[in-house]
Amino acid sequence: MRNIVILTGAGISAESGIATFRGPGGLWEGHRVEDVCTPEALTRDAALVHRFYDLRRAALSTVTPNRAHEALARLDREWTGKLLIVTQNVDDLHERAGARRMLHMHGELRSALCAACEARLPWSDALPPGTVCPACGAAALRPDIVFFGEMPYQMERIDEALSCADLFVSIGTSGAVYPAAGFVQLARQYGAATLELNLDPSDGSAWFDETRLGPAGTLVPAWVDEMLSANRT
Ligand code: NAD
Ligand code: ZN
C-alpha cells in the first residue's frame, strides 16, 4: 500500500460547524442550489450570489479545523508514499490544519476569479459584484467557485493520481455530485482498493469494498492511526 487518494466532502467539515450541502428540505443555508450555485444565477442575480458567498467566506473566521482535518494533515506529513487530498469543499480547513498535498476541485471561498482574464486572487473580504480585476482592469471578479455545469479544477491531476492509487478513500460526501461521485468507479478500474467513511451510506456506497459509518471526527483519526502503524511494521 503506497499511494493514496482521498476525496473529502462537506461531511468532514460538519463537526467544525459548517452546514453540509443538502440540509433540511434540501436547502443549502436556506437557498435552493439553483439560486446560488449556477452560472445562470450569477447572470440573473449577481448581488444574491455574491452575498451568499460573502456570508460563507465571513463564516470561515468563526470555525476551526476538527480532528478529522487534523488527522489527514498528520497523514500527509507522515505518509511516505504518494498522497493527494482532493476536496470538494470550498472552506479552507484542510490547509489550516496543515495539509499540503491537496487541491480544491470546486474552488475556494477565499479566492476571487476574474471572469475576463481568469486571474485568481486571494480574497478574504466581501466581494461586491462589479469589483475591478487588478490584473486586467475588467469589472469582472466573481467568487472562485465551480458552479453546477462548470468543469471542476485540476481533473487531469486527479485522474493521474487515481491511475496510480493503491487506495481510494471517500470521506463525508453524499456521492450525488459528478464527476467526484464517479471517482470510486474510476479508482476501481485502475485497480485501487476503496474505502468509504461517512455518517450515512452515500448514493455510491455499493461501489466501495468497505464502508464505515460514523462521524468523521471519530472515524478519520482511527483510520489514520491504522494506516500509519501498518506502514511502520
Ligand atoms: P453533501 O452535503 O451532499 O453530503 C454530505 C455528506 O456528509 C452526507 O453523506 C452526510 O451523511 C455526511 N456527513 C454529515 N455529517 C458528517 C459527519 N459528522 N461525519 C462524516 N460524514 C458526515 O456534500 P458533498 O457531497 O460535499 O457535495 C456537495 C457540494 O457542496 C460540494 O461540491 C461542495 O463544494 C459544496 N459544499 C461545501 C461545503 C464546505 O466547503 N464545507 C459545505 C457545503 C457544501
Ligand atoms: Zn482580469
Residue of 152, 148, 120, 124 lying closest to 49 (CA atoms):
148
pLDDT at position 54 over 90 = yes
Instruction: Indicate the length of the chain as a whole number.
Output: 233
Q: Average pLDDT for residues 188-205, to the nearest whole number?
A: 94
One-letter amino acid of 167: L
**pLDDT recorded at residue 175:** 87
Print burial letters for 161-181: b (CB count within 10 Å at least 16), e (below 16).
bbeebbbbbbbbbbbebeebb
**pLDDT recorded at residue 25:** 66
For residue 195, give the C-alpha cell.
474505502
Beta bridge partners, 85, equal: 6, 102
Q: Average pLDDT for residues 184-197, to the nearest whole number?
A: 98
Q: Average pLDDT for residues 166-189, to the nearest whole number?
A: 95
Question: What's the CA gap between 171 and 25, in Å, rounded?
Answer: 23
**pLDDT recorded at residue 145:** 97
Query: Of the bound ligands, which one is closest to the alpha carbon of residue 137?
Result: 2
pTM of the full structure: 0.96
Q: How far is CA 195 from the centre of its chain?
A: 17
Q: Are 5 and 192 in contact (CB under 8 A)?
A: yes
pLDDT at position 158 over 80 = yes
Q: Which residues are known catalytic residues? A: 106
Number of the ligand 1 atom closest to the C-alpha atom of 91: 40
Q: List, chain by chain if needed, residues with CB within 6 Å of any ligand 1 atom.
A: 9-11, 13-15, 18, 20-22, 88-91, 106, 172-174, 176-177, 198-200, 202, 215-216
* pLDDT-based confidence at residue 231 (cuts at 50, 70, 90): confident
